[in-house]
Chain A
Amino acid sequence: MAEPTTRDTILAAIRQGKPDLLPLPATIGFPPNISAENLVESFMTMVKTNGGQAIRVASLAEARAFLAEDYDLTLPVLSHVEGLDISNFTPAEELRLLDTLHLFVLEGKVGVAENAAVWVDEAAIGIRALPFITLNLSIVLSEKNLVGNMHEAYRLIDTSTGFGTFIAGPSKTADIEQSLVIGAHGSKTLTVFLLP
């Protein structure tokens, strides 16, 4: 007979030692604490708390004007948002060449008002490294896709995608004497545009 594998040994030890079956809670999650009419305001406040900026715009043209104001769009810029044609950068296959990217714009699927986390998935991101390697990040999100809390968000997002992430602000750290510094390894700024 073959030697038992580590896998077999671990599973056998679990079966030997685990407690009797305990049930899952009858319900998972809670209704949101934020009312529908306050979603936008709460979301925008939380983006700011997290160190980013949130701007309500009527159109992508308006978002483009804000971006042109804040960033030098002659530097390497990539937009994955249809109708926001400001790309001048073609990602090469060599991932380390993405390091020069100045601004990346992508579309968020769902935004959570309670913590300002925005779900972006592989379909919107393209090359996975992009939202993390870019110096500045911008997410375009429809106000219709705001929800109150994480429980609601998980009902809407597709977790069968290869990769997806909640982004809740620019990269940050407080590892040096608990002083908050924005811009650790990932993007140094985050601008979220809320469209109607």
Chain B
Amino acid sequence: MNTASPKHAKNAEAFLRDEENTDWHNETLWFVRSKRDRAAQSLPEWEELREQASQIKAHALSKLDDYLIQLEENARKNGIIVHWAANADEHNQIVLDIMRKHKATKIVKSKSMLTEECHLNPFLIKQGIEVIDTDLGERIIQLRNEPPSHIVMPAIHLKKKHIGDLFHLHLGTDAGADDPQYLTEAARIHLRQKFLLADLAITGVNFAIAETGGFVVCTNEGNADLGAHLAKVHIACMGIEKVIPKAEHLGVFLRLLARSATGQAVTTYSSHFRKPAPGQEMHLVLVDNGRTRQLASPDFRNSLKCIRCGACMNTCPVYRRSGGHSYHTAVAGPIGSILAPNIDMKEYADLPFASTLCGSCTNVCPVKIDIHQQLYKWRQVLGEAGVVEPAKKVGMSGMDVLFSRPWLYRFAGRAGRWLMQTFPTLANKASLNPWAIHRDMPKPPEQSFRDWYAQQNKKTNG
């Protein structure tokens, strides 16, 4: 059987080469995490609010079929055209067919991790369609031909100097200019033209409401609204897990979402779309793409509660120091490492290992997904499926032998201490000891804890 290569570790190595940038990335995300903490602490009922959100999502998943049918029925009554897509290809084809029907050649998109997951942009571009991402961070990475490295802050891996150079090249800003205010203004002017000339707009969906047959899109920039209201056709694409029962439940989620994501009390715009505007056409595409498989797995179905706030990434010590691109999947970080192996077990077998299992992700998750436990569970599933990389597997079985034989463990400890004391350079040689690639081995202790403990025991008890 084919096994996965350690892509995450290799990609992270490339990211870590720029030490200054790595430190900055780490500190910036920790800053956002700290803002999240302050926002959470401002609400005395924060923990109970998380509990409510988690229960609403659990309930919605346990009646997902009913709520999707209700959503579809009400949306149709409202004049929205509803589509169902089993996978990424079907989703992309539905979008393309709508475009063809309207002879649309220029489209504006607001951030949607689902369309990233489905690789919609390259698909449409191949068909000769101009696709413009309008979220500033998304536009930046689109000009760089890169995927987003974070679900809420897509260009978090870049510094303003990179963006200044990029805009100089593409938008004609002054060479060397890196003032965020100036660069944002240039992007505003550039994108305003795209909004005004677009034939069609695509947005994601933060929450769909079965009761009203409508959906909510949250942004700070207003790009989803500007796009959707100006174009003649609006296509909203959502994973089937985004449906919640009632509008009153939005009160719970909207209090959690922005606070968890950026530490804001709420996003600038929380727009409730329910009917197309006169003269416009509105489509809603419901996408499975592996979600029903995830639902059928008791171990992993909780991950479908995710509201895509990014809090787990901001707090993750591995994400902060390896960068989002090292995860080689649309949704990076802890939650992405649960979702991705469900789509392709072999391709993403490395990701559940890109975690310290410290549990910080679980602690900040606004809908109480047991993220680190699911990562741990994935490791076992992947191990049983035989898709874990060979070096890791050898190491694991070695440890299995070692830890299940106390005499061997004691011997190995003694041998190791002797070896490290006698040939210290050998233990730090990266070619022999991969652990030492980015670290120095600690100084070995004089004696083992076991020997020390026995000695102490003797001292006190005679």
Report how many residues on chain B are interfacial, defined by Cβ distance under 8 Å: 96
Given A6-B86, A151-B248, A175-B155; A185-B223 close (CB under 8 Å)? yes
Chain A residues with CB under 8 Å of B90's CB are 6
Instruction: Assess whether A132 is in contact with B43, with CB atoms less than 8 Å apart.
Output: no
| Distance in Å: Cβ of A133 to nearest Cβ of chain B | 6
Q: Which of A15, A28, A115 has a CB less than 8 Å from the CB of B52? A: A28
Tell me if B122 is interfacial: C-beta within 8 Å of chain A. no
Within 8 A of B (CB), among A162-196: 162-179, 181, 183-187
Given A11-B68, A14-B68; A175-B137 close (CB under 8 Å)? yes
Stretch of A19-27, A77-85, A101-109 lying at the B interface: A19-27
Tell me if B117 is interfacial: C-beta within 8 Å of chain A. no
Tell me if B28 is interfacial: C-beta within 8 Å of chain A. yes
Closest to B28 in A: A178
Instruction: Assess whether B247 is in contact with A159, with CB atoms less than 8 Å apart.
Output: yes
Tell me if B196 is interfacial: C-beta within 8 Å of chain A. yes
Chain B residues with CB under 8 Å of A175's CB are 135-137, 140, 153-155
Q: Which of A17, A165, A183 has a CB less than 8 Å from the CB of B269? A: A165
Report how many residues on chain A are interfacial, defined by Cβ distance under 8 Å: 73
Q: Which of A50, A133, A150, A181 has a CB less than 8 Å from the CB of B251? A: A150
Chain B residues with CB under 8 Å of A161's CB are 272, 274
Complex Cα distance, B160 from A8, in Å, reads 49
| Distance in Å: Cβ of A119 to nearest Cβ of chain B | 9
Complex Cα distance, B209 from A160, in Å, reads 11
| Distance in Å: Cβ of B137 to nearest Cβ of chain A | 4
Instruction: Assess whether A186 is in contact with B255, with CB atoms less than 8 Å apart.
Output: no
Given A21-B62, A22-B59; A183-B184 close (CB under 8 Å)? yes
Tell me if A13 is interfacial: C-beta within 8 Å of chain B. yes
Instruction: Assess whether B222 is in contact with A19, with CB atoms less than 8 Å apart.
Output: no
Instruction: Assess whether A96 is in contact with B28, with CB atoms less than 8 Å apart.
Output: no
Within 8 A of A (CB), among B259-315: 262, 264-277, 286, 288, 292-293, 295-298, 301
Q: Which of A22, A127, A133, A184 has a CB less than 8 Å from the CB of B136? A: A184
Tell me if A66 is interfacial: C-beta within 8 Å of chain B. no
Chain B residues with CB under 8 Å of A177's CB are 28, 158-160, 163, 180
Instruction: Assess whether A163 is in contact with B295, with CB atoms less than 8 Å apart.
Output: no
Instruction: Assess whether A114 is in contact with B265, with CB atoms less than 8 Å apart.
Output: yes
Instruction: Assess whether B55 is in contact with A22, with CB atoms less than 8 Å apart.
Output: yes
| Distance in Å: Cβ of B362 to nearest Cβ of chain A | 20
Stretch of B225-233, B348-356, B395-403, B430-438 lying at the A interface: B225-233
Instruction: Assess whether A150 is in contact with B184, with CB atoms less than 8 Å apart.
Output: no
Instruction: Assess whether A171 is in contact with B221, with CB atoms less than 8 Å apart.
Output: yes
User: How does the 8 Å CB contact mask read for B61-98 relative to A, with 1 for contact and 0 for none?
Assistant: 11111001100000000100000111000100000000
Instruction: Assess whether B268 is in contact with A163, with CB atoms less than 8 Å apart.
Output: no
Given A6-B86, A179-B180; A13-B212 close (CB under 8 Å)? no
Instruction: Assess whether B180 is in contact with A10, with CB atoms less than 8 Å apart.
Output: no
Instruction: Assess whether B292 is in contact with A185, with CB atoms less than 8 Å apart.
Output: no
Instruction: Assess whether A6 is in contact with B277, with CB atoms less than 8 Å apart.
Output: no
Instruction: Assess whether A163 is in contact with B183, with CB atoms less than 8 Å apart.
Output: no
A-to-B contact residues, CB < 8 Å: 5-7, 9-11, 13-25, 28-30, 33, 46, 49-50, 95-96, 99, 112, 114-117, 127-129, 131-133, 149-151, 153-155, 159-179, 181, 183-187
A-B contact pairs, 10 of them (CB 8 A): A18-B65, A28-B249, A33-B43, A150-B254, A154-B251, A164-B271, A165-B225, A165-B269, A175-B136, A185-B223
